[in-house]
Amino acid sequence: MCIDCGCAEPDHNHKHDHEKTRKIRVEESLLAKNDRLAAVNRTLFNAAGLLTLNLVSSPGSGKTTLLEKTLTDLNGRYNFAILEGDQQTANDADRIAATGAPVHQINTGAGCHLDAHMVGHGVEQFDLEATDILMIENVGNLVCPASFDLGEDLKVVVLSTTEGEDKPVKYPQMFRAAKLMIINKTDLLPYLDFDIAKCRAYALQVNPSLTILELSCRSGEGLDSWYRWLESASAEKRKNNEMRS
């Protein structure tokens, strides 16, 4: 038996192909490229001292409406900049532009999420030094955007009452990655079977430290709690920036 390869050939003339081969250790994260670019974005955002939120949800939960409301109601209190991610159209950017806030639309084409590279280029035209809060509205998708760090301070997941209360346990990755969950369209609760207590319980199972707010962009109910949350998140960011500098 050949001691090199263990074959049983008596006439041992075959080549040992494996002798030419070698193994190379690589040990690199598959998200390393995105993570590197996200770190660059984060450094840029921190240097400019702004709070950056990555808004994620399924399509149609009301992210754009929440932004429109926020920009209108808090006009003059903060300087916002908005990045809009969608596969196609500039419809959302047009809606945001109507509020007067600076906005840039990123179309991902076939892509199902924003990545750090797109965001890095997307913010180029904003005056970040003059911005207090950068909102990134991700592509409507409860799966893929969970894995891609954009350099944000935190993810805000929006869930609407028409979607069913079990979304947090169906898409745990996203609800685990978020710091804040907004339950939107609470004005529709009387017409739906949506169990809000169950929804909260599911969300906390997946992520025990998740903050949860309930609101309706349509009726305005609960929006004040979101504005208070924004105020404290923005204040905390400013405080951290001062400690760093």
Partner 1 sequence: MHELGITQSIVDIAIKTAREQNAVKVLSVSVEIGELSGVVADAVEFCFEACIQETFLQGCRLIIEQIPGRGLCDECGAEVKIDSMTFACSECGSYALQRTQGEELNIKELEIE
Of 66, 52, 68, whose CA–CA distance to 213 is shortest? 66
Residue (174 or 213) nearer to partner 1, CB: 174
CB of 90 to partner 1, least distance (A): 23
Of 151, 154, 141, whose CA–CA distance to 181 is shortest? 154
CB of 85 to partner 1, least distance (A): 14
- Asked whether the beta carbons of 88 and 109 are under 8 A apart, the reply is yes
How much is the CA Rg of the chain, to the nearest whole Å? Answer: 24
Residue (188 or 204) nearer to partner 1, CB: 204
CB of 8 to partner 1, least distance (A): 24
CB of 44 to partner 1, least distance (A): 22
Residues 82, 101: Cα–Cα separation, whole Å: 7
Residue (50 or 146) nearer to partner 1, CB: 146
- Asked whether the beta carbons of 186 and 218 are under 8 A apart, the reply is no
CB of 203 to partner 1, least distance (A): 10
Residue (22 or 244) nearer to partner 1, CB: 22
Residues 135, 208: Cα–Cα separation, whole Å: 25
Residue (167 or 185) nearer to partner 1, CB: 167
CB of 24 to partner 1, least distance (A): 5
The encoded tokens of residue 137 equal: 């509205």
DSSP string, 45-74: HHHHT-EEEEEEESTTSSHHHHHHHHHHHT
Site residues, partner 1 (CB under 8 A)? 20-33, 111-113, 115, 143-144, 146-148, 169, 172-173, 204-206, 208
Residues 113, 238: Cα–Cα separation, whole Å: 29
CB of 109 to partner 1, least distance (A): 12
Residue (122 or 168) nearer to partner 1, CB: 168
Q: Which residue in this structure is represented by tokens 């894995």?
A: 147
Residue (32 or 243) nearer to partner 1, CB: 32
Residues 128, 103: Cα–Cα separation, whole Å: 12
Pairing of the two strands 133-137 and 180-184: unpaired
